[in-house]
Chains A and B, each alone.
Chain A
């Protein structure tokens, strides 16, 4: 008897992941209803706004194609401006979705089930926004297919030694794998919506997209293994994609860029910024869809802890860069870093430090990291700070080796409109997702409910 008591004490008492005494039925009901109910006015208003802003992006792209990249603020020495800043910003945001869906899955972190669906959706939409920028930055957009190794009349091939080409592969493979992973997760949930469908159109469309899923264990067996493998192959992508993005910079010989710390530094920043975006979107979605039982305070607190960790990794990288610049004894390297902190772009540098290093320190305190208004505001600051991080890095170009070529870069109106427009595209896609698809992975949430365990009724073992 005493032995039994002791083993029970050893079991950590974890609070339940999903609250509100949910049954399988209530999970289905709550989540499916969100995709089945009539379009609400709030959604329509938000969608019109986001759609209009997305049109600004389309218009800016149209004018860019018509007139050329001269409409942007780019010029030598800053030949890379907001386009690359925005590209890195959006790709980075995607990484949190993959971390949640893949790495946390491999580590059997069951709390991921409530947030993985919309985090993965966020990944896809962020990567779409990211792909816009290098796509339209190429100048002659009508020959953009030259970046792919396609046989052509010139008998020319892309240069596989170029980090820019690595980027094309890394990001497009990342998008494809994320899409397949997301869709695989959706199949059983689309089957749920199919089986609940009342109208003919819904039955037809959902019937096609759920592929005829029957939920038999003969299907689950292969499904689970495929899902595990998709998680397994996506896991290195979390680390590799942003590492490859960082080589766009690190392989060049620009002071401030040519450093080996870039890949891990970029990856940490990507996860940091991505979690901030998951937090921003998650808090809004949770509020308007009343998902408090699914995305509990426990989920939010865990995400804040990850942000605290990755924020400090980013802070460490900022410090380490400075140290190495001094330690290298390289005058150009030293100048670049002094210039970042006290030069013409010092304002951007200190915005970056405040948002990325100082703000997350709040999360040391339990009261602050469990307060929703605090974490919402913090997540927005972090999003801003991470955009400025990329801006600070790219602006190393403004003062390179030759003082005679120094210049001060400012964005043009079109730079700003394109960037703002990309948010329109992102939110348009996200709102469509919220309206028509199950925002929480129902079958995964059911799987982590206590009654899903076949030995549940036998009591704790």
Chain B
């Protein structure tokens, strides 16, 4: 490409037709050996993880651990406050009346799971992230409406402006563009 430019390329972006088009494109990009690519769509597409060759998300395990920690903390807190720090006989019940402690333990287990799921999702997705090079593309905003895009990032080891553009065009990508800073 001869367009002399001082700005670094962030990615190559190509648009595809519908969910089926994006799914087929994902398989081809995966098979071509690209690693740092992504498929942007207005909603999650069934079967895309396999098409892109992605592993299962770790969010579930993290949420599970957080749920356990939440419950364990609740039980410890109730035991320590009621039986250790300030033992007080209430209605003649034992200090550690675990039956009555089930509800708060359950509640904090749920809270731990929910918070674990939400925050681990954000952290793994590196959100909130208020700047990303891909937003320089004038086209990209369509992804949240009805556009289906494949982006190949410039730090992919196989990335080469010319080759990647040609490759995405060869597999049927439209409006292929090199996304650069302004």
Whether A225 contacts B60 by the Cβ 8 Å rule is yes
B45 on the interface (CB 8 Å rule)?
yes
Interfacial residues of chain B within 22-48, with CB under 8 A of chain A in the complex? 23, 26, 38-48
Whether B38 contacts A218 by the Cβ 8 Å rule is yes
Interfacial residues of chain A within 212-259, with CB under 8 A of chain B in the complex? 212-226, 229-230, 232-234, 236-237, 240, 244, 247
Q: What is the count of residue pairs linking A and B with beta-carbon distances less than 8 angstroms? A: 210
CB-CB < 8 A to A240: which residues of B?
103, 106-107
User: Residues 179-196 of chain A: 1 if any B CB is under 8 Å from the residue's CB, otherwise 0?
Assistant: 011001000100110111
B5 on the interface (CB 8 Å rule)?
no
Whether A212 contacts B132 by the Cβ 8 Å rule is yes
Q: Quick one: given A191-B144, A229-B59, are A173 and B40 in contact (CB under 8 Å)?
A: no
B151 on the interface (CB 8 Å rule)?
yes
Whether B125 contacts A217 by the Cβ 8 Å rule is no
Whether A149 contacts B118 by the Cβ 8 Å rule is no
* A176 smallest CB distance to B (angstroms): 6
CB-CB < 8 A to B88: which residues of A?
159
* B64 smallest CB distance to A (angstroms): 9
A309 on the interface (CB 8 Å rule)?
no
B57 on the interface (CB 8 Å rule)?
yes
Size of the B side of the interface (Cβ < 8 Å), in residues, is: 69
Q: How far is the CA of A214 from the CA of B130 in the complex (A)?
A: 10
CB-CB < 8 A to B19: which residues of A?
451-454, 456
Q: How far is the CA of A22 from the CA of B48 in the complex (A)?
A: 23
CB-CB < 8 A to A217: which residues of B?
26, 38-41, 44-45, 48-49, 52, 54
Whether A216 contacts B47 by the Cβ 8 Å rule is no
Whether A221 contacts B54 by the Cβ 8 Å rule is yes
Q: Interface residues of B: mostly helix, strand, loop or mixed?
A: helix
Whether B108 contacts A223 by the Cβ 8 Å rule is no
CB-CB < 8 A to A216: which residues of B?
38-40, 151
Q: Quick one: given A217-B48, A224-B44, A454-B23, are A212 and B127 in contact (CB under 8 Å)?
A: yes
User: Residues 109-130 of chain B: 1 if any A CB is under 8 Å from the residue's CB, otherwise 0?
Assistant: 0110111011011101101111
B101 on the interface (CB 8 Å rule)?
yes
User: Residues 445-458 of chain A: 1 if any B CB is under 8 Å from the residue's CB, otherwise 0?
Assistant: 01100011111110
Nearest neighbor of B59 in chain A, beta-carbon distance: A225
B12 on the interface (CB 8 Å rule)?
no
Interface centre among A219, A443, A457 (most CB of B within 10 A): A219
Whether B121 contacts A177 by the Cβ 8 Å rule is no
A282 on the interface (CB 8 Å rule)?
no
Interfacial residues of chain A within 423-448, with CB under 8 A of chain B in the complex? 442-444, 446-447
Contact count band on A = 35 or more
Whether A169 contacts B107 by the Cβ 8 Å rule is yes
Q: Interface residues of A: mostly helix, strand, loop or mixed?
A: helix
Q: How far is the CA of A188 from the CA of B145 in the complex (A)?
A: 10
Interfacial residues of chain B within 80-103, with CB under 8 A of chain A in the complex? 81-82, 85-86, 88, 90-91, 93, 97, 100-101, 103
Whether A160 contacts B101 by the Cβ 8 Å rule is yes
Q: Quick one: given A28-B146, A211-B128, are A188 and B108 in contact (CB under 8 Å)?
A: no
B65 on the interface (CB 8 Å rule)?
no
Q: How far is the CA of A219 from the CA of B93 in the complex (A)?
A: 50
Q: Quick one: given A149-B77, A160-B81, are A225 and B132 in contact (CB under 8 Å)?
A: no
Whether B107 contacts A214 by the Cβ 8 Å rule is no
Q: How far is the CA of A173 from the CA of B107 in the complex (A)?
A: 7
B78 on the interface (CB 8 Å rule)?
yes
* B148 smallest CB distance to A (angstroms): 9
A161 on the interface (CB 8 Å rule)?
yes
* A241 smallest CB distance to B (angstroms): 9
A372 on the interface (CB 8 Å rule)?
no
Nearest neighbor of A241 in chain B, beta-carbon distance: B107
A156 on the interface (CB 8 Å rule)?
yes
CB-CB < 8 A to B151: which residues of A?
216
A24 on the interface (CB 8 Å rule)?
yes
Whether A166 contacts B67 by the Cβ 8 Å rule is no
Q: How far is the CA of A28 from the CA of B23 in the complex (A)?
A: 22
Q: How far is the CA of A372 from the CA of B132 in the complex (A)?
A: 48
CB-CB < 8 A to A214: which residues of B?
38, 40, 132, 134, 143
* A234 smallest CB distance to B (angstroms): 7
B165 on the interface (CB 8 Å rule)?
no
Partner of A454, one of B40, B45, B142: B45
A348 on the interface (CB 8 Å rule)?
no
Whether A180 contacts B144 by the Cβ 8 Å rule is no
A25 on the interface (CB 8 Å rule)?
yes
Whether B134 contacts A226 by the Cβ 8 Å rule is no
Q: Quick one: given A212-B129, A212-B131, A225-B57, are A156 and B86 in contact (CB under 8 Å)?
A: yes
Q: Quick one: given A160-B81, A173-B110, are A443 and B146 in contact (CB under 8 Å)?
A: no
A330 on the interface (CB 8 Å rule)?
no
Q: How far is the CA of A230 from the CA of B66 in the complex (A)?
A: 13
Whether B107 contacts A23 by the Cβ 8 Å rule is no
Nearest neighbor of B112 in chain A, beta-carbon distance: A233
Whether A220 contacts B127 by the Cβ 8 Å rule is no
Nearest neighbor of B52 in chain A, beta-carbon distance: A217
Interface centre among B19, B107, B127, B128 (most CB of A within 10 A): B107
Q: Quick one: given A160-B82, A216-B39, are A207 and B114 in contact (CB under 8 Å)?
A: no
* B18 smallest CB distance to A (angstroms): 7
Closest 9 CB pairs of A and B: A216-B38, A24-B146, A226-B121, A195-B141, A157-B81, A211-B128, A229-B117, A212-B129, A447-B43
Residue pairs across A and B with Cβ atoms less than 8 A apart, 19 shown, are A24-B42, A28-B42, A160-B78, A161-B101, A169-B103, A170-B103, A195-B141, A195-B144, A196-B141, A211-B122, A211-B129, A212-B130, A222-B57, A223-B44, A225-B57, A226-B117, A229-B63, A240-B106, A456-B19
Known: A165-B104, A217-B45. 5 other contacts (CB 8 A): A192-B145, A195-B144, A196-B141, A220-B41, A234-B110
